[in-house]
Structures are given as C-alpha cells and as structure tokens.
Structure 1
Amino acid sequence: MADHIQTIVTKLPGLESVAEVWETADRRLALGDAAFLADLGIALAGAYGSDAGRMWQYRSVFDHLLRQLAVTPGAGHVAEALRLVSSAETADRRLDRYVASLLASSHPAEELAVAFTGHASEELRACLVHELVLRGTDVTESPGIAGWATSPHWRYHPLAWLPLRLSDVEGQPGLPSYSAHGSSHSMPYGPRANRETQAETGAQIPSAEETTTEAAAKGIGTAVANWAEESNGRIEARVFDLAGPLAAGSARSLLLELGLECLKGTGRKTAFTVAGCPPDEAWGVLFAAASSGGAYNSGARGAYGRLAAWQSLAGLSGTAENCPAEEVEARARDCAWYSFGADTKWFECVAWDIGLASVSPDRRLAVLAATDTD
C-alpha cells in the first residue's frame, strides 16, 4: 500500500485530470479500506500542503478524500477522517471548522463521540459541539460528548459564549447538506426577495442624528464581514438616534431620509421595498451570510457562523457588549425589525443582498446593508 500511495504522490503534480485518483480512493473505501484514504491524504499534505494555493490537483484530491471519509456513514469513517485532519501535516483551524460541519451533517452524535476521546484538536471539538447544537442535538445529554461540552476548561474559547441549546430566536437554522462531490445550502436573501411590502401611512417621521462609531459598525457588520474580506462585497452599518417615536408604516420614509449610501439614487422608478420582519428572520439572514459566505468564499461554517450572527444581532439591537445570549435575545425581541431592498447602483442585485434595520424602545435605529457579486 505504501508503494501505491507513493506512486500517486509522485505523479499528482503532472496530472491533467485527477478522476483516476478519485476512483482509486472510492474503490478502496468500498472495500472497507478507509485507512488508505487517510494515509493518502496525510502523505499528500506532507508533500504538497505548503503549495496548496497553487496546486489544484492537491486541493481537489485532498478535499475528495476528506469528504468521502467524513460523509460516509459509520464510526470507522469518522475515526479515519479525524486521523487525517489531526495529523501534523494537515492541522489548520479553518479546516477544523469545515470538518466539524461535514461530520455533524452526516453522522449521529453517538458516532461523533470518538472526537472527544481520540484524534481531534480542541478547536475541532468546540466547532463540533455547536454544529451539533445547530442540528438540534442536546450535547449536555450526549454520552461521550457531554463531559467535554459542559466542562469549564474551555470557557475562554470564543464559542463558549454560545448557549448549548438552540434559542427560540434561532428557530431551525438553514444548514448545508453535503455529499462526496458537493454541497448545497439555502439563501434567505437576494434582490427583491418575496416580502409583503409595508404600506406608507404619510405620518411625520422623527429627525435622526447619526451616532455611528467604529466599534458599533464593526459589531453590526460581523455576520457579513466575510463578504467584504474574502469576496467582492461591501457593507454599510450605521446607527442613529431618533428624536421621537417611529410611527407604524413610516419606516420607508425614514430610511430614505438617513442619507444611506445603499439607497442613493432611489426615486420613483427605482424599486425600493420595506417590510416588517421578526428577529427570528433577521437572525436567520445573518446566520446564512456568516456561515455560508458570499460569492467567492465559504463563510465561517456553522459554529462560528452562529457566533457571528449573534454578534450582529447584538449590534443591531444595541445590546451591551459581553451580555449573555438570553439578554441579546430579549433586547432583540423588544425592537421593531425591518428588511429592505432597492435596485440602486449600490446593491449588486445578483444573489447576495441584505438590508436590515431595527428600532429599539430607546429610539436607537441601526441599519445593516450588504451586497456581494460573482
């Protein structure tokens, strides 16, 4: 087997197609030799991992090996997937996030308990806990997982802030489905998504004073930061203090008066819609943007996507920093929420467009707009 693996490793850079390597791996897996895939992946990473950015053959084969191990049912496949990504040649935090998503989408909790006793980094374990939570698993009652998940030893990890059960505002998060050859996920946003537009009442709108700070804008935009940092996206995140209450049906007029970059050029011939939305819908949009990414990236995956969605929800609702999730949710439910979209030059109107606004009881208006394109 070692000679066969070495032959593949040696020939890989010169291949014009890696289909034959895929087929070899698939045959070995079908014969019950999951270890071959892990051994091959580790050998390839040792030889070409540092050159992965330029070598498409390596990226394609490694991802295929990992996906096959991670999505094929059976505890033995889980163990080999963990061995592959826990080797010194492959260790990487972003890979841990990806693997946790793959495993949680394809295996029951009892098969994943091995990650908390055998080969797995602490980062992978933390991500796996919250990938399972997102899928409705009670990790506090899962044998082999509960001890690690409820231990105080990881209380300083960023994900430790998240609750170990889904909150009401999270509902049933839209999660990706994986196969050996690809993945799919829902996109709860886009140009002029189907919404019931809010009717204008003609009520007088209050004056607004901008109070945006760098910290506030960063917090509000956490969920969509990856669109700008890793793709072609742009973000507008701003905060205003209103001089008076916002009358029902006047959100559209108020948004037009704020001088938002995303709404410049809005006129009679420009489609501009505003609709009320519950905080649950807002969280779902934020989670999808954070976890699945924009046009040219894959996002933060489930665990860190969940954290980013909560951070943006806190920023939009004006919750004090470091408050527990229960307080963020309570504050969010006290706010009035709106979704909006416009056919302006700012919005790309392709598939990745977000417009959210919230008005808190203390008359704080927060706005988040984001757009991306391929």
Structure 2
Amino acid sequence: MQLARPAALLALVAGMLVLGLNMGLRQSFGLFLEPMTSAYGLSHAAFSLAIAGQNLLWGALQPLCGALADRFGTARMLAVGGATYTAGLVVMALVPGLTGLHLGAGLLVGIAVAATGIPLVLSAVARVAPADKRSLWLGFAATGGSIGQFVLLPGAQALIDGLGWQHALLALAALSVLGVLVAPALRGRADTGFDGEDAGTLASACSLAARHRGYLLLTAGFFVCGFHVAFVATHLPASVSAAGMPAAVGATAMSLIGLFNIGGSFAAGWAGQRWRKTNVLTGIYLGRAAAIAAFMAAPAEPWAVYAFASVFGVLWLGTVPLTGGVVGQIVGARYMATLFGVVMFSHQIGAFCGAWLGGLSFDLTGSYTAVWAVAAGLGVLAAALHWPITDTPARETARTA
C-alpha cells in the first residue's frame, strides 16, 4: 500500500540524507591517506589495503543486509548501520596504526556501508515512489550521495587543517549519528508497498535472475563502476599531491565531483525515463573512459584537475539509479534490495581492486599512471558489456524459454 504523499516525500528526503552520509563520509577517507600514513609511518599500499578490505566486505555483506532489510525492515538495518559507522570512525581515530585502520576503516565501516547502502535506500524509495516515476525518484535519491560528497569533502579537509586528522574523524563520527535518527522514515519490508506486484518468493526471484543474461552482464559491468569510484575516491587527492599541487586541490576536486553529480544523477534518472537505461549506461562508461584519457594527456595543473573532476562528476553516480532501475525491470522491485545487493558485490570486488591496486602501483612505481590507463580501458569494456543487455523481465524470459 502506497504511503500518503507527505510520508513518501519524507522517506525520499531521509533516503537522500542517509546516502549523503554514507557516500560523503567514506569518500573523505582519501583525504586522510597522507596525514595517517605520515603519522604512523605506513605505506600507501597498507592504507589502501584497509580501504580495499572495506569495499570488499561491503560488497560481500550487501546481499545479506538487503535480505535482512527485506525480511525485518529497512529502518532497523539503517539504524544498526548508522551506529556501526559511528563506531568505525571512532576506532579509526583513536586506535593507532594498522589495527585502527583495519578494524575501524576496514571492518566496522565496511559493515556500516553495507547496512546503510544504496540497495537498501533505493529499495525503500522504490516502495513509496509512484510506479510510473520510479526511475526519476531513484535519481533524486541518488543525488543525496553527491550532495553529501560536495558538502563533506571540503568540510573534512577544513577539519583536518584546523583540528588535526584525529579530531576531524571524531567530528565526522558525531555527524554520522544523524543516519540513526532519520532511519525510521524508511520503514518497510519487501512485502509492503507494492499493491500485489512482483509476486513470488525471494528464492524464485534469485533463480530467475541467475538465468537472465542481461542480469549477468549488468553484474559483470558494475565491477568497472566500483573500480573507477574507489580508485578515484581513494587516490585522486594523493595523485594531485604527488604531482606537486596543494592538498586543497584534491579536496576541491572531490567536492566538485559531488557537486556535478547532483545534476548528473538527476539527469541519469530523467534519461532512464526516456530512453533504454542500458543505452544510457553505455554512454556513461564511454564518457568515463574518454574523461580519464583526456586527464592523463593534460598537464599537471589545478585547472586540469578541476576540469576532469567536473566532467567525471557528471558521470560519477549516474550509473546507480540506472543500474537499480534495470534490476527492478528484470526481477521486479519487491526483492530489489537483495538482488541489487548481488550486483553491488561485483561493484565492490571492482572497488577492492581499484583501491588496492592504486596504492600498490604508487609504492612500486612512484606513479598512478598504470592504474589510470587500466581504468580507461575498463570503461570501454563496460560499455561493450552493457550495450547488448536486454531488460525483459526475468519471468517473461523464463516463460519464453
């Protein structure tokens, strides 16, 4: 049963705030790479491995968190995730060395991001959105992550500069409590909000998805999105510093990515209403590959960093509402949290590779050039994977077979 419009709009705003905290807080970790490795005498690869582990754990737990949210309610999972996020940031700030990094940034934040993640929030928004406008509402919800990144990245850098990195992490921990407070607005389970649509069990939905070629291609292609996002978020600030530019340039660049993705996510949701979502996804991945190639060829100047960040920002999270929309078309919206969670696992395997390989490459070669080149090539590969995807519902495909 659909919620009354004010309650539905409140759920949308709450979803945007949760995603803003989820995205903005974890994307700020790249700003802590230089001060934390300097304070503890760690290598870039050691720091990157903790962030890579966070991404892999997030992906591994995402289907489980989605299933628990479908079974017991989204609000409960989001509240648990928000509290765990707070604990992870506190541990990261107060427990020294690799122990604090792996326990705080790796384990606890990895669990928290899965429990407050995109599939859970978008599935909750899908339940309350008008059926004919779901893609647009998902686009609105996804902009919350971009707004959080735009606001929190320069804020985190200012906190680091003014208070030091440890107190900056404690301040961010206090902010993360907001996620717990707004969680009740996103109540609901997989058996509420659909007025009889998407009938069937979770087991049957998973079985149909596993036999759907489009779902499998979508899952494979989302690996590339994870690689891109984790590599850029973790290593763009350090890449800028390695080129001799001030740390503020990297923070500003990450903030610009968030700013321009506000429009990019909305535009992606709007485009998904007008054209085939898989075609729009193909264009986004080709655009990413072109932007990375142009950035590699540009001089190491702040204007080039800002130009890249602006273009890449438009393409940053536009994949999320589109990919979620395709998952909903293929398997239905009822079990979207679980089945989108499976797709997210592929995304996070890519994120593990992007975060860790970036640090490893820098330690071995003193440069990020090789991984930038790999990222450009993967963009072309993702476009090739998405172009042939059919979004015919899995039940229709099974009946035809």
TM-score band (shorter)? under 0.3
Select the structure with the greater relative contact order (CA < 8 A; seq sep ≥ 6): 2
The TM-score normalised by the length of structure 1 is 0.27
Q: Which has the higher strand share?
A: 1
TM-score normalized by the length of structure 2: 0.25
Larger Rg: 1
Q: Higher helix proportion, which one?
A: 2
